[in-house]
A and B are shown apart, each in its own frame.
Chain A
Amino acid sequence: MRLLLVEDSKRLRETLTLALKRTGYAVDATGDGQEGLWMAEDNPYDAAILDIMLPSLDGLQILKKLRDGGNETPVMFLTARDRVDDRVLGLRTGADDYLVKPFALEELLARVEVLCRRAYQQASSEVEVADLRLDTAARVVSRGERPLELTAREFALLEYLMLRQGHIVSRTQIEEHIYDDMVSPMSNVVDSAICALRRKIAVGVNPAPLIHTRRGQGYVLEAREP
């Protein structure tokens, strides 16, 4: 899942980015409102976290411009403005969530997770494909009865594929949603990651393959009849 974080406090921005990345999200962060708007318009983020009081363009204006432009990326406001009027204004402008500073990291992660699920119309935190089960809240994966050990990036990749099960997911889409700006578009990082993920989920005796390659198109995760 790829997130946009627009927060003017440098320390908070960096710490949050670190926490989100370690949780498995790809994060693009900026402290400037105008830059945040450009990033949101140019990239297909799964969710955006915006501060309200920002240099050059405030969070409310960013959100309004996004919504006016037809961008439906789920947005959460992260702000020190705690008055009811502020919350109401934020939500009415089109925000999907509103979190007041200071906040608990776990609460932020849970809310971000909900926002990401909402992007894929997934109400429950559990996703199942055949005997492969992924819990986005507990951040655990199992196949049959066996729990699987995945890195944060692998977990994010599997989560993305499972949330879009049955749909072809292109390499570009994977790059856009799982990797942030730091990944070179020319690298074969996606293929390598898919390969590693296939190995990790292929547990048990004669397991059925779930990640299938569509040549020239991308990958699709689905259970197929033997």
Chain B
Amino acid sequence: MKSIRRRLTVWLLGSLTLLWLGVSVGIYTSVQHSLLKTVDAELAVSARTIRFSWDQNEVVPPDAGRPRGRKPPPQRLFNFEDPASALGFQIWTVEGELQESSASLSDVEMPVPGPVSKTPVFTTLTLEGGERYRAMQYRIGSPGRGKGGNRPGSRGSAEGASGNLMVSIVRDLQSVDQALSSLLSGILIVGGIAAAGGVVLVGLSLSNGLRPLKSLAEQTRSIDAENLHARFENEEAPVELRPVYEQLNDLIHRLETSFERERRFSSDLAHEMRTPVAELRMLSEVALKWPDESEEDTHTDTLAIANQLDSMIENLLALARWESGDFEFQREPVSLEAIVRKLWGRFSLQAEKKNLDAGLKLLAGNAVLETDEGMFSHILSNLLSNAVEYTPEGGRIRCLVHADGMEVINSAPDLTEEMVTQMFERYWRADVARSDGVHSGLGLSLARSCARALGLTLTAQLDGGELHIQLKDEAASSSHHGSKEE
């Protein structure tokens, strides 16, 4: 399982380890370099001492095993004569024959220097026994005994310029190695402690840093379908999480609205189904209780209830399908005038019976909408049906054709502003429609869903005792002009 905490722990500890390794290597290398420079400086000083002694023919003392009849070494060469001393020197011929060696190196077999010039070369030598030495190697002229003779480092003669002897001044690196070893131990011990401390501190830091996420998770866990009114408390939330909190609160708000709508819908649906089911049950029970007196009307009523329930279910399914967007449209140019005339035929008889003053007004010549004719017809049919149904006897109906849509106006003396705001809600019905058992209260809701699916707007407003229902394509351009009234 992916874990932010685990990932951060690995990354932080890995980074800290790499940082520690880098710093450790840097310190170690720097100290090593510094120590070697110190040793090199010491070797350079020793070189000058030897050179001076060489010039004085003080090298090498007779007690070194190769008596040469020279005078005893001066005090400045004691460092080379003491067998315990870390310093020493050896002189070879260019052929590799050892000429002279300090007493401190009497038991040590130094490797013969490679080809060297008069410019000193510093190198680190590791003997077979594992002893390490720092060496300064350079070439000097052969020992000419006298002031005109060759001297180590003499630049006075051609032989001296090239030199025929090789000098190697060495210093035992044991003390340096011990210091570096101590440094390494220190680094490792400190590193170990730092690593242990790092694990604890990283753990604590992450726990502290991730606390808001934990709080978020706990709050999320506490929210369920019954608790959607709750909101995430983002007063204390860190800045980085505030957008998350806000988005979550928005999401819950949308969920709550949606749940509430669905609850209301389910409740309304149950309510709407109860009455026809109660009717059906009463009819059946009465017919069973008094079978001899059962009337033909009972069967007619039963069929009517079945049709009503069937229609309600069909409407609900259509509503669900269109609201979910799972519907394919077949858009084509639809003449608004033609479609109104076609649909009005269905309602004209009913309008005549109610003595309604009905009229069609074309405000935009040959208005054409690019839309799905079937669905558009469904919407318009619903609007016209409602207009004819609810306009009181002798009332007026006007159907206006605009360039960008339709407007159906009908007399509605009993309608209030509040009723107009509710009329698109599912199961809303005007009082007069309630008792007929025919209207499901889904018509306008369905019409609005269809309109939305087609990219149209369906709105209603009350003006001077007349209900204006507008079906408009906001995007349509009004390219048609002209007006005629029938």
Q: Which A residues fall within an 8 A CB radius of B?
A: 8-13, 15-16, 18-19, 22, 31, 53-56, 80-83, 100-106
Q: Does B485 contact A (CB under 8 A)?
A: no
Q: A80-B275, A81-B271, A101-B274 are in contact. Are A55 and B305 (CB under 8 A)?
A: no
Q: A101 contacts which chain B residues (CB < 8 A)?
A: 274-275, 277-278
B282 touches A31 (CB 8 A): no
Write out, one digit per residue, whether chain B residues 170-200 have a CB within 8 A of any chain A CB (1) or not (0).
0000000000000000000000000000000
Closest to B290 in A: A22
CB distance from B93 to the nearest CB of A (A): 118
Write out, one digit per residue, whether chain B residues 415-433 have a CB within 8 A of any chain A CB (1) or not (0).
0000000000000000110
Q: Does B314 contact A (CB under 8 A)?
A: no
A19 touches B282 (CB 8 A): yes
**8 Å CB contacts to A: which residues of B45-73?**
none
Q: Does B301 contact A (CB under 8 A)?
A: yes
- Identify which of B271, B304, B305 gathers the most chain A CB atoms within 10 Å of its CB: B271
Q: Does B330 contact A (CB under 8 A)?
A: no
A11 touches B286 (CB 8 A): no
B285 touches A55 (CB 8 A): no
Q: A11-B437, A22-B293 are in contact. Are A102 and B278 (CB under 8 A)?
A: yes
B434 touches A53 (CB 8 A): yes
Q: B431 contacts which chain A residues (CB < 8 A)?
A: 55-56
Contact residues of A: prevailing secondary structure: loop
Q: A81 contacts which chain B residues (CB < 8 A)?
A: 271
Q: A53 contacts which chain B residues (CB < 8 A)?
A: 434
CB distance from A133 to the nearest CB of B (A): 25
Q: B463 contacts which chain A residues (CB < 8 A)?
A: none
Q: Does B230 contact A (CB under 8 A)?
A: no
Q: List 13 A-B contacts (CB under 8 A).
A: A8-B434, A10-B437, A12-B278, A19-B289, A22-B286, A31-B435, A55-B435, A80-B271, A101-B274, A101-B275, A101-B278, A104-B281, A105-B285
Neighbour of A103 across the interface among B278, B290, B293, B432, CB < 8 A: B278
B435 touches A15 (CB 8 A): no
Q: Does B128 contact A (CB under 8 A)?
A: no
Q: A56 contacts which chain B residues (CB < 8 A)?
A: 431
Q: B281 contacts which chain A residues (CB < 8 A)?
A: 102-105
B274 touches A80 (CB 8 A): yes
Q: A15-B279, A102-B277 are in contact. Are A10 and B286 (CB under 8 A)?
A: no
Q: How far, in whole Å, are A83 and B266 apart by their CA atoms in the complex?
A: 13
Q: How far, in whole Å, are A54 and B431 apart by their CA atoms in the complex?
A: 8
Q: How far, in whole Å, are A115 and B267 apart by their CA atoms in the complex?
A: 29
B271 touches A12 (CB 8 A): no
Q: How far, in whole Å, are A191 and B290 apart by their CA atoms in the complex?
A: 29
Q: Does B236 contact A (CB under 8 A)?
A: no
**8 Å CB contacts to A: which residues of B232-277?**
267, 270-272, 274-275, 277
B271 touches A10 (CB 8 A): no
CB distance from B49 to the nearest CB of A (A): 110
CB distance from B297 to the nearest CB of A (A): 8
Q: Does B206 contact A (CB under 8 A)?
A: no
Write out, one digit per residue, whether chain B residues 107-145 have a CB within 8 A of any chain A CB (1) or not (0).
000000000000000000000000000000000000000
Q: How far, in whole Å, are A184 and B286 apart by their CA atoms in the complex?
A: 28
Q: Does B454 contact A (CB under 8 A)?
A: no
Q: How far, in whole Å, are A142 and B267 apart by their CA atoms in the complex?
A: 48
Q: A22-B290, A22-B293 are in contact. Are A8 and B435 (CB under 8 A)?
A: yes
Q: Does B296 contact A (CB under 8 A)?
A: no
B275 touches A55 (CB 8 A): no
Q: A12 contacts which chain B residues (CB < 8 A)?
A: 275, 278-279, 282
B293 touches A15 (CB 8 A): no
Q: Does B436 contact A (CB under 8 A)?
A: yes
Q: How far, in whole Å, are A18 and B298 apart by their CA atoms in the complex?
A: 11
Q: A55 contacts which chain B residues (CB < 8 A)?
A: 431-432, 434-435
Q: A82 contacts which chain B residues (CB < 8 A)?
A: 270, 274
A19 touches B285 (CB 8 A): yes
Q: A19 contacts which chain B residues (CB < 8 A)?
A: 282, 285-286, 289
Q: A22 contacts which chain B residues (CB < 8 A)?
A: 286, 289-290, 293
Neighbour of B279 across the interface among A11, A83, A100, CB < 8 A: A11
Q: Does B453 contact A (CB under 8 A)?
A: no
Q: How far, in whole Å, are A19 and B305 apart by their CA atoms in the complex?
A: 19
Q: How far, in whole Å, are A101 and B267 apart by their CA atoms in the complex?
A: 13
Q: A80-B271, A102-B278 are in contact. Are A10 and B435 (CB under 8 A)?
A: yes
- Identify which of A8, A9, A10, A104 gathers the most chain B CB atoms within 10 Å of its CB: A9
Q: Does B283 contact A (CB under 8 A)?
A: yes
Closest to B277 in A: A102
Q: A8-B435, A9-B435, A55-B434 are in contact. Are A15 and B274 (CB under 8 A)?
A: no
CB distance from A2 to the nearest CB of B (A): 20
B437 touches A18 (CB 8 A): no
Q: A18 contacts which chain B residues (CB < 8 A)?
A: 286
Q: B274 contacts which chain A residues (CB < 8 A)?
A: 80, 82, 100-102
A10 touches B436 (CB 8 A): yes
A15 touches B283 (CB 8 A): yes
Q: How far, in whole Å, are A56 and B275 apart by their CA atoms in the complex?
A: 19
Apart from the given pairs A19-B289, A53-B434, 20 other A-B contacts in the complex at a CB distance below 8 Å: A9-B279, A9-B435, A10-B435, A10-B436, A11-B304, A12-B275, A15-B279, A15-B282, A19-B282, A19-B285, A22-B293, A55-B434, A80-B272, A80-B275, A80-B278, A83-B267, A102-B280, A103-B281, A104-B281, A105-B281
CB distance from A51 to the nearest CB of B (A): 9
Q: B283 contacts which chain A residues (CB < 8 A)?
A: 11, 15
- Identify which of B275, B281, B436, B437 gathers the most chain A CB atoms within 10 Å of its CB: B275
**CB-based closest 10 A-B pairs:** A55-B431, A80-B274, A102-B278, A101-B278, A105-B285, A8-B435, A15-B282, A101-B274, A31-B435, A102-B277
CB distance from A167 to the nearest CB of B (A): 33
Write out, one digit per residue, whether chain B residues 54-98 have a CB within 8 A of any chain A CB (1) or not (0).
000000000000000000000000000000000000000000000
Neighbour of A11 across the interface among B290, B293, B305, B432, CB < 8 A: B305
